[in-house]
């Protein structure tokens, strides 16, 4: 279902700093704009509560996940809160295996081809290229030439509506969007405007 969601809209919302009391309103404007995957990093305030609220608020075709997942114990807590996707800044095999054993979708962070192949061998669904600022479109193109056909690379870090084109031309089929989409303190209206700009750019480039 994760790959199908990204085929519909390859933009992943990363809501670092989201508070539970604003989760429902922010989630609703993102879903209305077309987002199908929403992630709450675990270094946000009360992240598991925000995940619970998003899961209970949004339709089933919107996947809810957690980011900055660092331990197998956190994987279990994410699942208990209703989360469906595990997103990591790294590629720790213990966490990868815990996520797969829990039946959750998995997006580990990778920065080298060695890490990419190892993560795929552990069952990664998509690969988070992090930080994207250090790995431009030339790296994407080189990786895709050797990775298994159909591998989805999702750059994260510094992605704007204006710089998506060069990555898409290189073969990218998804992006993780952080502070360019949401920052703590933004109103739902501000997030909605950012979301619409990203989705418009995505549709025009695809």
Which residues does the annotation mark as catalytic? 39, 128
Instruction: Find the helix packing angle between 72-80 and 93-101, rounded to 10°.
Output: 30
Cis? peptide before 59, omega within 30° of 0: no
Alpha-carbon gap, residue 109 to 152, rounded angstroms: 12
Strands (E) across 26-104 are located at: 37-41, 63-67, 85-87
DSSP assigned state of 69: -
Alpha-carbon gap, residue 50 to 66, rounded angstroms: 10
DSSP letter string, 103-140: T-EEE-EESSHHHHHHHHHTT-SSEEES-GGGS-HHHH
């Amino acid at each position: 279902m994760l790959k199908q969601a990204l085929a519909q809209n390859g933009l992943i919302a990363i809501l670092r700093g989201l508070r539970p009391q604003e989760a429902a309103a922010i989630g609703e404007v993102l879903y209305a704009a077309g987002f199908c995957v929403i992630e709450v990093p675990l270094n946000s305030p009360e992240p598991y509560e925000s995940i619970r609220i998003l899961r209970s608020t949004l339709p089933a075709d919107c996947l809810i996940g957690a980011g900055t997942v660092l331990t197998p114990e956190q994987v279990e807590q994410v699942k208990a809160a209703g989360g469906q996707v595990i997103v990591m800044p790294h590629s720790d095999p213990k966490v990868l295996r815990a996520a797969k054993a829990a039946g959750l979708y998995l997006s580990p962070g990778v920065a080298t081809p060695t890490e990419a192949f190892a993560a795929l061998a552990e069952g990664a669904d998509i690969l988070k290229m992090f930080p994207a600022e250090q790995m431009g479109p030339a790296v994407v193109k080189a990786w895709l030439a050797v990775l298994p056909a159909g591998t989805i690379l999702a750059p994260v870090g510094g992605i704007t509506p204006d710089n998506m084109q060069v990555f898409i031309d290189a073969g990218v089929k998804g992006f993780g969007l952080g502070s360019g989409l949401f920052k703590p303190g933004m109103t739902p209206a501000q997030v909605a405007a950012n979301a619409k700009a990203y989705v418009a750019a995505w549709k025009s480039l695809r």
